[in-house]
Structure 1
Amino acid sequence: MSEYKVFLVEDEENLSEVLKAYMEKEGWEVSVFADGESAQKAVEDTPHLWVLDIMLPGTDGYQILKTIREKQGAVPVIFISARDQDLDRVLGLEMGSDDYLAKPFLPQELIIRAKKLLSRVYVEEAEASSAFDLNNYTIDPEARTVVDTEDENHIVDLTTKEMDLILLLTEQVGKALSREEIIENVWGENYFGSERAVDDVVRRVRKKMPRIHLETLYGYGYRVLSS
């Protein structure tokens, strides 16, 4: 994801213009707020990231951060400040900021930190969310793991081919796949062995995952049912 929405709260006009320009080069949509009151009103609209100065006219960054956490939960926040660096860093982190930059800093440093934070919060969470539950097994295609939630979250020990078969069939629950299709997807187009290899892997998977409901379609192939 690259079209992030960023709220920049900074009363120094020159600095805010520079930071806005750098972030827009990344393809991000940037809204700038020059004082605490306008930023407080914007809390009703949730961005992907806040870049928040602590020293602001009127309402300070601490109050804004408190409101953000009350109304927006865990949306990422980077604090920036020219005040007592150690004190602001500690207070900011205790209140729930995700990162801190002391002024003066290079705009590119903010971009680097923002990218890392956005990637961790949105990209990695999205990848993690690819895991799904089926018959009390948690199947994670990214991590290539199967966890038995009925057996104290025991990780099912599967071989590469067994995992490939499970991922193939569970990506299309209810769809019948022929042995030829399974061989092509799991073993590859250049496989010249017997189709009995499919049956052997199915047998092992059934033994290791007895609740998977892996159905045989005699003379054709297999499918996984949801219940």
Structure 2
Amino acid sequence: MKVFSREFVTAAGSMTALAARVTGVAEDRLRQQEFQSDVLWLRRLCAWLMRDVAGLKSLDIAAWLGVTPAFVNEACFTARRRISARGVDLGRPDDDVARDVAALLSPYPVVTAICAPVPLADCMMAVALAFGLSRQELAGAGRSLRAARARHCFSWLAGIAAAAEPKAIARQIGRGRTAVSHGIAFVNRRPGSASLRAELLAALAGPDLPSTESLLRFGRDLETLTRSSTMERLNP
């Protein structure tokens, strides 16, 4: 097992956190043995950030990501070619650059802005109906694991569709901001969450708000996405 220097761990950890933040894919999925497109997206962005932004060595990056050196080289080559073709300004803050490069590497349609936010009440209705819960149960009265899972899904949906701040979401579910952040991270760890996020953003980019039926479909998709995770710590 490779032993990394403290300097490498600090730099690699920073780039990994940045990649996870801009893609919405949880860090702990990075080394999972899976071939889903969102995990590959995260790995490719990490490889480029570590090599071209942090200046780390390809062999070390490959060991950190659990991939081959060829994967790192291919990811960097692809990113550089697309950056050159699109004229991305690399002199800006790392967060801004990472978002642009993530968009270039994304396997999903990338939407940078939504037309209008969805009311929080509509997000709550969609999740409550999808989970078969009352608004009161979703708003904090429910103590079951299903209610806790629904609150996590509402936090995730409201953060994107309603562009709501954690404090506003927390008021809706009778929890603190830490619980909201935990809920969003919980959903982001589920395989398929990045593609669902891309679909939601695409629906929000149109001239009209998503229909009730469309919101309910996203609620049902979230219920299905998180259904196999009831044994995980939910912090109800």
TM-score (norm 1): 0.24
Higher strand residue share: 1
Q: Which has more helix, going by share of residues?
A: 2
Q: Which protein shows a greater Rg?
A: 1
Relative contact order: is structure 1 or structure 2 higher (C-alpha 8 Å, sep ≥ 6)? 2
